[in-house]
Amino acid sequence: MKIKIFHTLALCALLISACNIPIPKMDGGNSAAIIHPVDGAQFQIGDVVDVKTLVDFSAGASSAILLVNDSPYRVDHFSQPIPAGYIFQPWTPTEPGTYTLGVRLVGSDGEVDSNSVTVIVGASAPAEAPTLPSVPTVETPAATLSSAGTATQTPFFPSATIPAAVVPTLTPTPAAVVPTLTSTVIVVLPTFTEIIPANASISGLIYRDENGNGNFNPADSPLAGITVQLGAGSCPASGFQVAQTGGDGKYTFSALTAGQYCITVDAASLPSIGGTWMPSLPNPKDVNLGAGENKGGQNFMFQPVIQ
């Protein structure tokens, strides 16, 4: 009975590790650990390297970015946030060299980077030329003489006429027939996975608008420590990334792919003034981001209303 229970538990663990299925969390912090490939692993050009990452994310990871030499290689968005479990992201090297792999998890409560793994990629072995079948050797039959070429004795009589010379008749030799060989070359076209670059960004400033006109004036001042939500798709949307303004009132969302996004300032994070805050500019705001575009100037202004 104990052996049967152990085999059942081992089978369940194997099935869980084979899919991106959430498993119980290891602790309360946010972490990501690449467990395959291991540091120093070697591959060939064209090998499909399945990067396997162990996820432990308190609020759930909504997307994962595979980094190759600190540059985004692919972005995977999850239909449901993954608090804990394994994720798989394939990577196919196209050139030899030494590469550093990493994974960045993004969730509603921020980002976390995994450990770095260094792998070595070598050149693939040259394809062997196909061996063609040998050409059979056709023996040429020897020439034969006809019966007319057989030597005979002719009696000599002084008054007799000298007989004409006998010319042997030769049988023509047939030409060797060499078979024609046709070599068939099969061309295998590689399958490419579309890589969506995540190299765009959105940034802006959040100000205290003293007169509520929506324009920056010398009396206006930046607001620090304000929470800004980024959502994928048209407004209202949130939960894709979260940022906070610095002392200069600036916020930034990076490592984004092209598409439609929604920016929302969390009004609850505005400082307490004994009154209310009125937005001078639209909140939330839709932003259409192009590939590789760094779209700044997405500003928000709030007027303090104290009664």
What does the DSSP assignment read for 48-100?
-EEEEEEEEEEEEEEEEEEEETTEEEEEEEEEEEEEEEEEEEEE---S-EEEE
Residue 213, pLDDT score: 92
Domain annotation for the chain: domains and CATH numbers: 18-122 (2.60.40.10), 200-305 (2.60.40.10)
Please indicate whether residue 150 or residue 295 has the higher confidence score (pLDDT): 295
Checking if the pLDDT of 97 tops 80, the result is: yes
Residue 234 Cα to chain centre, angstroms: 27
d(CA 223, CA 208): 6
pLDDT (tens digit, 9 = 90+) per residue, 11-68?
Answer: 444 444 444 444 434 445 788 999 999 999 999 999 999 999 998 888 888 999 999 9
What the block records as the tokens of 28 is 């309360």
Checking if the pLDDT of 299 tops 90, the result is: yes
pLDDT (tens digit, 9 = 90+) per residue, 235-258?
Answer: 999 999 999 999 999 999 999 999
pLDDT (tens digit, 9 = 90+) per residue, 258-295?
Answer: 999 999 999 999 999 888 999 999 999 999 999 999 99
Residue 59, pLDDT score: 80
d(CA 35, CA 114): 10
Residue 110, pLDDT score: 87
